[in-house]
Each structure stands twice: as structure tokens, then as C-alpha cells.
Amino acid sequence: SQKIEQNSEALNIQEGKTATLTCNYTNYSPAYLQWYRQDPGRGPVFLLLIRENEKEKRKERLKVTFDTTLKQSLFHITASQPADSATYLCAVTGGGNKLTFGTGTQLKVEL
């Protein structure tokens, strides 16, 4: 069956360090993969989209990689700040061209 797996354990890091979140998927061959940020009590906010023919995408302090062989995407936040604390969701296109979300990883950036 199709699965999207994100680390369910919260990731705690110190301010200024690089946060790396992982998204693994099985039984998908997505044309692209997306990352969203969700704050408590709010709807998810789109951050980045990476296509299958792109290895890496950057936006300010954010970097996403997409390895279709490993079926994995890594999401990096460099020079992390307490304001980056949130839950980060990855999403892939699945069967029927639906967008399917992972359960998200909670990131806590501490002073």
C-alpha cells in the first residue's frame, strides 16, 4: 500500500543549527513533492515544491532535496530560529493525481 512516512518524534534543535527533516514514501512515483508548515490551530502553509527531475530546491534558508531512487525527500532549515518551530508536512501526488500528506514532524528550535 502507499505510505508517506515522516518522523513522528519531535525534533529539538538549538537556535542557529540546521534542522533536517525526512520524508520517505513507498509505492508512489510522484511527479513532484511538496512541503508545508503548520502552526497550532492554523491551516498548513505551502513552502516549497520540487519536481522529480530536480535534485535540490532552495528558498532563502530552506532547502529541499528529492531522491527518487531512495524515495526520499530531505527538508533543511539553516540558521534555525525559534520562529521556525512548527509542524512540517510533506505531500506527494499519488494515485488518481491526489495530493497525499504525511503526518508531519514537529520541530522545536530552542534558544
Burial of 53 (0-12, 13-18, 19+ CB in 10 A): exposed
Question: Closer to another protein at the Cβ: 13 or 47?
Answer: 47
Least Cβ distance, residue 99 to another protein (angstroms)? 5
Q: Name which of 79 and 99 has its Cβ closer to another protein.
A: 99
Q: Residue 19 or residue 23: which is nearer to another protein going by CB?
A: 23
Compute the least distance from the CB of residue 57 to another protein, in Å. 13
First to last CA, the chain: 41
Residues of this chain that bind another protein (CB under 8 A)? 4, 34, 36, 41-46, 49, 89, 91, 93, 97-99, 101-104
C-alpha dihedral sign at 86, 80, 57, 52: negative
